[in-house]
């Protein structure tokens, strides 16, 4: 029997078969604001709020800026739908990135997790609490690292066995002080987006010069 749970910015449907999930994705199409997560019969449909989208975009930009500064090859796929029927799992992260596995997917316009690697890093913005615990979905899909932004903090989680463990250091950016990103955003939010890139570049240069960067560990 189909059951539902409804909130202002989301609705959760239960007892949803995989084919129903696939059909709903087709009906929703690509040009939509709603994002979905599927966990073994539970389907979460979320419409993001403005604050949510702001932090999604700005933290995503900082990840890309950092990769450029460090001259790392990368690719990002935004809120692409990642799914595996055998795992009964599907998710659209707030943003996702390939770094370590970038060479394996370079140039591809279609990806299939049954044969391609999952993103190396997923970004989750928790401005409003999520109705589904998304970590088990990511774990079944094999995503190695998640950054979770919530209440002015970013926490790093890395997949170890069947679950995620909180860590202090990122696998993608071992020297980046990830926990300092929210304070960087809040200090310079009024100044505009270009300031973040300059602050990161200057911080990286300071670290190379005197090992005293506010954003990069020596």
pLDDT tens across 19-53, in order? 999 999 999 887 678 899 999 999 999 888 889 89
Query: What is the H or E stretch that residue 68 is in?
Result: helix 50-69
Percent over 70 (pLDDT), the chain:
91
pLDDT tens across 78-101, in order? 999 999 999 999 999 999 999 999
CB within 8 Å of 43: residues ≥ 6 apart: 12, 13, 14, 16, 20, 21, 24, 36, 37
pLDDT of residue 131: 58
Per the DSSP assignment, residues forming a β-bridge with 166 are: 157
pLDDT tens across 196-206, in order? 778 888 878 87
Say how far apart CA 134 and CA 144 lie, in whole Å: 14
pTM: 0.91
Say how far apart CA 155 and CA 2 lie, in whole Å: 35
Residue 193 has pLDDT above 60, yes or no: yes
Among the listed residues 54, 52, 93, the one whose alpha carbon sits nearest the alpha carbon of residue 76: 93
Among the listed residues 122, 124, 142, the one whose alpha carbon sits nearest the alpha carbon of residue 133: 124
Q: What is 49-210's CATH topology?
A: tt1808, chain A (3.90.1570)
Average pLDDT over residues 106-117: 95
pLDDT of residue 211: 67
Residue 6 has pLDDT above 50, yes or no: no
SS (H, E, C) 48-64: CCHHHHHHHHHHHHHHH
pLDDT tens across 51-66, in order? 989 999 999 999 999 9
pLDDT of residue 2: 54
Sign of the four-CA dihedral 191, 192, 193, 195: negative
pLDDT of residue 196: 77
Give the confidence band of 8 by pLDDT, cuts at 50, 70, 90.
Answer: very low
pLDDT of residue 3: 54
Residue-range domain boundaries for the chain = 49-210
CB within 8 Å of 196: residues ≥ 6 apart: 58, 61, 62, 65, 184, 185, 188
């Amino acid at each position: 029997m189909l059951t539902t749970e409804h909130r202002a910015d989301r609705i959760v449907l239960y007892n949803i078969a995989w084919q129903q999930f696939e059909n709903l994705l087709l009906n929703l199409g690509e040009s939509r604001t709603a994002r979905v997560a599927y966990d073994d019969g539970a389907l979460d449909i979320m419409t993001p709020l403005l604050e949510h989208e702001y932090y999604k975009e700005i933290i995503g930009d900082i990840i890309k800026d950092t990769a450029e500064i460090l001259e790392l090859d990368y690719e990002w796929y935004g809120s692409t739908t990642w799914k595996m029927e055998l795992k009964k799992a599907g998710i659209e992260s707030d943003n996702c990135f390939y770094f370590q596995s970038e060479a394996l997917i370079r140039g591809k316009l279609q990806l299939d997790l049954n044969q391609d690697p999952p993103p190396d890093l997923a970004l989750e913005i928790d401005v409003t609490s999520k109705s589904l615990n998304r970590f088990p979905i990511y774990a079944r899909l094999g995503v190695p690292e998640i950054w979770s932004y919530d209440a002015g903090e970013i926490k790093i989680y890395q997949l170890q066995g069947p679950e995620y463990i909180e860590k202090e250091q990122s696998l993608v950016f071992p020297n980046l002080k990830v926990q300092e990103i929210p304070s960087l955003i809040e200090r310079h939010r009024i100044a505009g987006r270009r300031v973040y890139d300059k602050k990161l570049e200057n911080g990286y240069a300071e670290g190379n010069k005197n090992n005293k960067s506010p954003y990069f560990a020596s």
